[in-house]
Structure 1
Amino acid sequence: MEPGGLVVVCDDTEPIRRLIRVNLELEGFEVEEACDGGSLLDLLTGRADRGEELPGVVTLDAQMEPRDGWWAISRIRADPRLADIPVVMVTASVQQHDRVQARASGFDAFVSKPFDPEQLIELVRGYMTGGRGHSPAH
């Protein structure tokens, strides 16, 4: 198995966070959680401010309150300390325009809910080893 790394899972639905966490931990990844875009940004900037390891990948839901994934991705891409972190959108939004908007906003990949945990794990592995330059096969 390839070495793990730190992944941050951001979703406002606890069972979804738990599902992603358990699957990633079973594959050897370390996982931290955030429940909305604001808590995600606090977690990431706090790590950056303290000089701690940044995640190799972030999974991020689009629709959350009070700060959604769209808000969070704009802040992540605007912060030079965070801008190179691959971010995978995991969302129930399945319309083509959502996919186009996700790419234009700076998301690296798009996974629709309900999702295949293996597909998500493979995406995370690819981004862990290839960074934002990884080109997913999906």
Structure 2
Amino acid sequence: MERGGVVMVCDDTEQIRRLIRLNLELEGYDVLEAADGQELLDSLAGSAELPGVITLDAQMAPRDGWWAIAQIRADERLRHIPVVMVTASVQQHDRVQAQSSGLDAFVPKPFDPDKLVEVVGGLMARGRGQAPSA
């Protein structure tokens, strides 16, 4: 599969952002970063080029991933972007919330970086609602 495109990585833990970024960059992706949902939305609002995929952590402050996905799906300009929730929140209610919120994939932490790259690549190639969850 040919790699490439822009991925926005949103996580409040710098080490997690770095891990995801390095693995995606090794596969040819350009990576943008945000530390919480508000920073993500602010960054996208001012951007002429939108990412092909967004990865989100669920638990961030002050604006978490659940808030961010609701904002993304409500925004005509952003709603087409596939979103992967990468989170330690893996209870059944989290998976139900993930499905009902319009997420395209759910990857539990700790995650296999190769699997995350595979999920991102599938979403990048096929678009919203087409890639399986990890």
Q: Which residue of structure 2 lines up, in the alignment, with residue 111 of structure 1?
A: 107
Q: Which has the higher helix share?
A: 1
Across the aligned residues of Structure 1 and Structure 2, the Cα RMSD in angstroms comes to 1.1
Q: Which residue of structure 2 lines up, in the alignment, with residue 84 of structure 1?
A: 80
* Deviation of the 1:135 alpha carbon: 3.1
Secondary structure, aligned partner of 2:9: strand
Structural mapping, 1:22-37, within 5 Å: 22-37=22-37
Distance in 2 (alpha carbons) for counterparts of 1:105 and 1:78 = 11
* Deviation of the 1:9 alpha carbon: 0.2
Distance in 2 (alpha carbons) for counterparts of 1:135 and 1:39 = 26
Distance in 1 (alpha carbons) for counterparts of 2:131 and 2:124 = 12
Secondary structure, aligned partner of 1:132: coil
* Deviation of the 1:137 alpha carbon: 6.2
Secondary structure, aligned partner of 2:46: helix
Structure 1: runs of 5+ lacking an equivalent: none
Q: Residue 10 of structure 1 aligns to which amino acid in structure 2? A: C
Q: Residue 100 of structure 1 aligns to which amino acid in structure 2? A: V
Deviations 1:3-36 (A, max 9, x none): 3000000000000000000000000000000000
* Deviation of the 1:129 alpha carbon: 0.6
Instruction: Tell me which of 89, 113, 122 is aligned to 1:93.
Output: 89
Kindly, what percent of the aligned residue pairs are identical? 72
Structure 2: runs of 5+ lacking an equivalent: none
Query: 4+ residue stretches of structure 1 with deviation over 4 A?
Result: none
Q: Which residue of structure 1 lines up, in the alignment, with residue 123 of structure 2?
A: 127
What's the TM-score, normalizing by structure 1? 0.94
